[in-house]
Amino acid sequence: MKSVRLTIDGRAVEVPDGTTILDAAMANGIKIPTLCHLEGVKDYGGCRLCLVEIKGSPKVFPACTTPVGQGMEVTTNSDRLKEYRKMALQLLLSERAHICSVCVANGACELQSLASELGVDQLIFERDWPELSVDLTHAYLVIDRNRCILCTRCIRVCDEIEGVHTLDLMLRGKETQVVIDLNENWKNATSCTGCRKCAKVCPVGAIYVKGEALSSTKDKEVAKFITERRRSAFE
Amino acid sequence: MAEEEREKQKRFRYRINVCCSSSCISLGALKVLKSFERAVKELGLEDQCKVARTGCPGTCSAGPVVLIEPGDYFYEGVTPESAREIVEEHVIRGIPLKRFLYSVPEFFSKQKRLVLRNAGKMDPLDIREYISRGGYAALVKCLTKMSEDDVINEVFKSGLRGRGGAGFQTGQKWKFVSKAAGSPKYIIGNLDEGDPGVFANRTLAEADPHAIIEGMIIASYALKAEKGYLYTRAEYPLAIETLKKAIQQAKSLGLLGEKILGTDLNFDLELRLGAGAFIAGEETAILASIEGMRAMPRPRPPYPASSGLWGKPTLIQNVETLANIPLIVLNGGEWFSKIGVPHCPGTKCFSLTGKIKNPGLIEVPMGITLKEVVFEIGGGVPDGRRFKAVLVGGPSGGCLPESQLHLPIDYESLTKAGAIMGSGGIVVLDDESCMVDTAKFFIDFCVDESCGKCTPCRVGLVKVRKILERIGHAKGVEKDIDLLAKVGEYIKEASLCGLGQTAPNPVLTTIRYFKEEYMAHILDKKCPTGRCDMGAEGS
Ligand SMILES: Cc1cc2nc3c(=O)[nH]c(=O)nc-3n(C[C@H](O)[C@H](O)[C@H](O)COP(=O)(O)O)c2cc1C
Ligand code: SF4
Ligand code: SF4
Ligand code: SF4
Ligand code: FES
Ligand code: FES
């Protein structure tokens, strides 16, 4: 396969053609913050945390969905990008009820750890926390929509890896919510296999397994692991 | 057939065109149409006068509108009762009836009607009338005299840019799709038009559906695409009816379907209806919608030109862009490139609304100034009020003050001033409009219409609205202006699709051009216009 040379933060790297900037960076040990990206499923481009700059354009580009180009000069950590990442976190934290001290995911939450990593310790916007429904009807799965950041990792893993598409979005704008089947209670969701993949990939405390420590449930690698296993089985 | 139809038309000395487009119908045009038919019959003038049901000539606020040819005599506010009198005076005595004559001829003075050439003069439900006015001649020319590449080159040479908002070079897009690997290829005519107060595309479809259809067939020939979708919203019943009938008529004459006009060209055109969300007009969201999914945009690349409907190369084009194609093919790209301004040739349709004397649908050459549009065509602000600002580009356009009225209308000038071309909405505001309130009004629209996919647009716009509310409720602080500008810039730059990338424009431009009004709300706790909730006295 053709390979592409580019620089990321001044470092020369070489990756196969078609690689995304994010994968190219990760493969070379350069970390770009992400929330909606999940290895093993299609990229969504929604959280806007992974934005990078490309020399020659005044715009910013999502690293997770932008393919590398020959001779590209990518910057992942300018002041503007840092500002933008903080802004995204500010917005997510003030959108729905993120009170870490009373959240099941406290200590095992990607939103929380990114906030502390990037230095977001005080909210600059009015909180806008609506009261959304919590579904506790399932024998062991819970969805608390008040914690959801709408990254759709759960939806994609359920659709693309488990192959059942139990989860999807309804409504739009700030009303957007993850629903189960056609807005059913989880216990009535006939399509759900109960596989827990959605809980494993949820970056926050929105979907979790009752009575299980979050640190043991969450497993961002699960989608990647399964895709790789499948691929090797067919080889 | 064109000849035959022209001969038939020539037998009539007069042609009475009754506008039966949405706005005039709501003002009683159908009754007017009946009265004219009756009057002509009762007066025994059936051999001399043809009464036709037409689309909109653009002067909607003066409806019901009747246009009598020859001579382009416009009658406004026509009532069913006056039909007979108009026929007696105009047709029998040969003297136009002054009382009803359209009072603002300047409305048409600076217009250049190319795309809307047939609007108001032709029965949209009669394909023969379209043909008699030169319709489908461009298609015949393509099929008989031009190769696929000739057609693409002609479009390229014309310099035509997409009329759906972004202004991408149409010929370039055609080249991309033509070169893209994969089959079948698809063509989508974008007639979604979700911007409130914008009705140019709807009017075009209601007045001249075949111009759009012909443009699509030509594209299908040039790009070897066998399937096309015309995507519009269920809220456009008359446009849908008109397009449906037009598609049927084109099919029955062998202009659509298999072996078009006896050649090897096959093109099947289908009408698709969306439920009417602003975001559904975004090109990748249309793809999702036609594929049967939630209309949500996706990141580009890949672009629809290489990976569109079901992953196949797809041309997505605004219907006004498409309606330009037959003209370009007939008259040549060179001819087209000389209209308007060099970097932005051709004309643009605008829906002109708000506090303006002559609202309506206009078509002007690119490069015309905003001043000419607002004051000469639009007749300025009525009721003795003063002009304050003009919002160019629909709900996510920019509010430009008097000092910017010298700007020529083209993509680059508008963008530089903080506005956009959008799909062609121009709203005029007078001195009674509170700019903070105006900004809030448009942000509200985008808050409701955001698809919810990306953080900046979904959450950022809600925060922007909150801050504007705070200022409007006399609780604003000076810092809020910087915060608005900062979040606004962030939303524009970081959003995934055009909705978020343009939504902050009304806020950013009102801050840029009317900052003192924000300051008055914040520091003096009162509204200079006294028009928002806060009132002139403050609270
Ligand atoms: C929120 C949003 C709404 C849009 N709505 C429309 C629309 O109603 N009609 C349209 O032609 N283009 C619309 N567009 C632009 C399309 O994405 C696309 O650029 C256009 O259809 C391409 O055609 P053109 O090159 O002929 O302009 C919209 C874009 C956005 C971001
Ligand atoms: S448990 Fe499995 S099947 Fe059920 S919603 Fe989650 S991912 Fe889908
Ligand atoms: S429930 Fe979790 S994984 Fe699903 S969208 Fe919300 S935050 Fe993302
Ligand atoms: S900018 Fe708004 S409408 Fe566009 S993808 Fe993002 S949330 Fe959806
Ligand atoms: S990780 Fe790229 S947008 Fe979310
Ligand atoms: S609808 Fe009749 S003039 Fe516009």
DSSP string covering A24-80: HHHHTT-----SS--TTS-----S--SEEEETT-SSEEETTTPBP-TT-EEES--HH
**Considering all CA atoms of chain B, what is the largest pairwise distance in Å, rounded to the nearest integer?**
75
Spacing of C-alpha B292 from chain mean position: 26
Tens digits of residue pLDDT in A31-60: 999 999 999 999 999 999 999 999 999 999
Residue A182: partners with Cβ closer than 8 Å, 6 or more residues away:
none
* Candidate of B155, B156, B199, B282 to mutate for ligand 1, largest count of ligand atoms within 8 Å of Cβ: B282
Taking CA atoms only, the protein residue closest to ligand 1 atom 12 is B164
* HSE-CB for B13 with a 13 A CA cutoff: 10
Contacts of A96 (CB under 8 A, 6+ apart): A129, A130, A132, A145, A146, A147, A148, A149
Residue nearest atom 1 in ligand 4 by C-alpha distance? B500
pLDDT of amino acid B499: 97
Distance CA B303, CA B315 (A): 10
Q: Tokens 């009747």: give the residue.
A: B66
- pTM for the model stands at 0.95
Q: Which residues lie closer than 8 Å to B2 by C-beta, 6 or more apart?
A: B131, B132, B134, B137
Closest CA to B216 of B309, B142, B295, B124: B142
State the average pLDDT for chain A: 96
CA dihedral B359, B365, B368, B371 (to 10 degrees): -10
* Binary contact (A173, B455; C-beta < 8 A): no
User: Where does residue A6 rank: exposed (0-12), middle (13-18), buried (19+ CB within 10 A)?
Assistant: buried
- Cα–Cα distance measured from residue B521 to residue B478, given in angstroms and rounded to the nearest whole number: 10
Instruction: Please work out whether the CB of residue A38 comes within 6 Å of at least one atom of ligand 3.
Output: no
**Two tokens at B14?**
């007069």
Inter-chain residue contact A169 with B452, CB threshold 8 Å: yes
pLDDT digits (tens, 9 = 90+) for A123-165: 999 998 999 999 999 999 999 999 999 999 999 999 999 999 9
CA distances from A211 to A103, A112, A139, A180 (A): 13, 21, 11, 21
**Alpha-carbon gap: A173 to the closest alpha carbon of chain B (Å):** 4
Angle at A42 between CA A39 and CA A47, to 5 degrees: 80
Residue type, B348: K
Residue pair B277/B155 in contact (Cβ under 8 Å)? The answer is no
Q: What is the pLDDT of residue B535?
A: 67
In angstroms, rounded to a whole number, what is the distance separating the alpha carbons of residues B437 and B387? 17
Distance (Å) of CA B50 to CA B18, B63, B128: 11, 20, 14
Check residue B101 and report its DSSP letter. B
Name the residue among B328, B369, B373 with its Cα closest to residue B346. Answer: B328
Residue-level pLDDT, tens digit, chain B, 539 residues:
777 777 877 789 999 999 999 999 999 999 999 999 999 999 999 999 999 999 999 998 888 999 999 988 999 999 999 999 999 999 999 999 988 888 777 888 899 999 999 999 999 999 999 999 999 999 999 999 999 999 999 999 999 999 999 899 999 999 999 999 999 999 999 999 988 889 999 999 999 999 999 999 999 999 999 999 999 999 999 999 999 999 999 999 999 999 999 999 999 999 999 988 999 999 999 999 999 999 999 999 999 999 999 999 999 999 999 999 999 999 999 999 999 999 999 999 999 999 999 999 999 999 999 999 999 999 999 999 999 999 999 999 999 999 999 999 999 999 999 999 998 999 999 999 999 999 999 999 999 999 999 999 999 999 999 999 999 999 999 999 999 999 999 999 999 999 999 999 999 999 999 999 999 999 999 999 988 877 666 54
Name the token pair of B209: 């559906």
Candidate from B451, B459, B490 with C-beta closest to A84: B490
Q: From the CB of B500, is ligand 4 less than 6 Å away? A: yes
Query: What confidence tens digit (pLDDT) does each residue in A70-91 have?
Result: 999 999 999 999 999 999 999 9
Task: Among the bound ligands, name the one nearest to the CA of residue B500.
Answer: 4
Specify the DSSP class assigned to residue A205: S
Query: Does the beta carbon of B21 sit less than 6 angstroms from any atom of ligand 4?
Result: no
- Sorted by sequence, the CB contacts under 8 Å of residue B52 that are 6+ apart come out as B15, B16, B17, B18, B122, B123, B129
Structure token digits, residue B489: 């810039």
Burial (0-12, 13-18, 19+ Cβ within 10 Å), B181: exposed
CB A52 within 8 A of CB A21: yes
B479 touches chain A (CB under 8 A): no
**Cβ-Cβ contacts under 8 Å for A28 (sequence gap 6 or more):** A8, A11, A13
Ramachandran angles phi, psi of A40, nearest 5°: 110, -20
Residues B197, B208: contact at Cβ < 8 Å? no
Option in B451, B454, B463 nearest A48 (CB)? B454
Minimal-distance CA residue of chain A relative to B486: A87
Return the H-helix or E-strand segment holding A13: strand A11-16
Check pocket membership of A158 for ligand 3, CB cut-off 6 A: no
Which residues, numbered 1 to 60 in chain A, qualify as contacts with chain B under a Cβ-Cβ cut-off of 8 Å? 43-49, 51, 59-60
Q: At how many degrees (to 10) do helices B461-472 and B479-494 cross?
A: 160
Residues 441 through 470 of chain B touching chain A, CB cutoff 8 Å: 447-456, 458-460, 462-463, 466
- Measured between beta carbons, which residues in chain A are less than 8 angstroms from residue B294? 168-169
Ligand 5 centroid – CA A22 distance (Å): 9
Q: Are B525 and B534 in contact (CB under 8 A)?
A: yes
Distance to chain B for A53, nearest Cα, Å: 11
- Dist CA B76 CA A136 (whole Å): 64
- What's the CA gap between B477 and B497, in Å, rounded? 31
Cα first-last separation, chain B = 72
The Cα–Cα gap between A142 and B356 comes to 56
Q: Using alpha carbons only, what angle is made at residue B121 by residues B376 and B228, rounded to the nearest 5 degrees? A: 100
Is residue A173 within 8 A of residue A167, CB to CB? The reply is no
A177-187: pLDDT as tens digits: 999 999 999 99
**Residue whose structure tokens are 């009475």:** B16
Rounded CA separation B409/B516 (Å)? 27
Whether A88 and B456 lie within 8 Å, measured CB to CB: yes
CB atoms within 10 A of CB B497: 23
Contact A51, B494 (CB under 8 A): yes
Q: Which of B460, B493, B496 sits opposite A91 (nearest CB)?
A: B460
* Cβ contact B56:B19 at 8 Å: yes
Task: Compute φ and ψ for A7, nearest 5 degrees.
Answer: -120, 140
How many angstroms is it from A227 CA to the middle of ligand 2?
Answer: 16
Mutation pick for ligand 4 pocket among B453, B459, B490, B502 (CB with most ligand atoms within 8 Å): B453
- Ligand 2 center from residue B220 Cα (angstroms): 43
Q: Residue B466 and residue A126: Cβ atoms within 8 Å?
A: yes
The C-alpha of B346 sits at a distance from chain A's nearest C-alpha, in angstroms, of 29
Counting atoms of ligand 6 from 1, which one is nearest the CA of B21? 1
Give the per-residue pLDDT at B510: 97
Q: How is B314-375 classified by DSSP, letter by letter?
A: EEEEEHHHHHHHHHHHHH-HHHHHTSEETTEESEEEEEEEES-SS-EEEEEETT-BHHIIII
Residue A208: partners with Cβ closer than 8 Å, 6 or more residues away? A104, A105, A141, A142, A144, A199, A202, A214, A217
Q: Under a CB-based contact definition with an 8 Å cutoff, are residues B64 and B28 in contact?
A: yes
pLDDT of residue B538: 54
Contact at 8 Å (CB) between A21 and A67? yes
